Amino acid sequence: MLCQEWTILNESGQRPIRFTSFFDLAYSGGGKALSYPLEEGAFAKYNKVQNPGGLKVTLGMQGSEADFDEALRSLDFYRKETEKLCIATPAACYDGYTLESYSYQRAVNSGAGMLVVELTLVEVKEVETRTTATVITKPKNPTSSGRANRGRAQTKEADKDVCVCP
């Protein structure tokens, strides 16, 4: 979903964090190409694994102390919970991200009446697992296995005159 404005939405489509400014967004993504060595120093690539994407979002908010407290409580809730968020911009939609951490500052030079929050979000990759049930109709009894031949047993006592090295 592309938006005309920069916003953050929860799974219900609500704006969980009330802010007045969306300062910036930085995306990072990557993958790992798995390889194995061949002769003469060459490598063969045989698979590529995608790492979860990451976002850094900086938000600003003007308001009262009560507004700031409500925003920080909301951020704390989403940091502790597994609910996914959607960061929607006019250019792209980053859906399925969870709030991993946040930091905030209030300084005189940036306006003590303003709360500036930096969010770190990570993409949640969901996979579907499948399990099967296998019925074993005639299981083997582990006690019915034969004796294993583990070498020779010495049948006579060693000569007393023979020296045995340690």
Domain ranges in the chain are 7-123
Q: Greatest CA span in the chain, whole angstroms?
A: 100
Question: Distance of CA 117 to CAs 60, 74, 77, 120, Å?
Answer: 6, 12, 15, 10
What's residue 100's pLDDT? 94
What's residue 141's pLDDT? 67
Sheet holding 21-28, edge to edge: 7-9, 85-88, 93-105, 114-123, 54-62, 21-28
If you write DSSP's letter for every residue of 2-45 in order, what string do you get? --SS-EEE-TTS---S--SEEEEEEEE--EEEEEEE-GGG-EEE
DSSP 3-state assignment of 79? helix
Give the Cα separation of 75 and 103 in Å (integer). Answer: 10
DSSP 3-state assignment of 89? coil
Q: Which residues of the chain have pLDDT under 70?
A: 1-3, 34-36, 38-46, 107-108, 110-111, 135-166
What's residue 129's pLDDT? 79
Question: Distance of CA 86 to CAs 13, 24, 41, 90, Å?
Answer: 9, 15, 45, 13
Instruction: Note the residue count of the chain.
Output: 166
CATH topology assigned to domain 7-123: Elongation Factor Tu (Ef-tu); domain 3 (2.40.30)
What's residue 24's pLDDT? 92
What's residue 106's pLDDT? 79
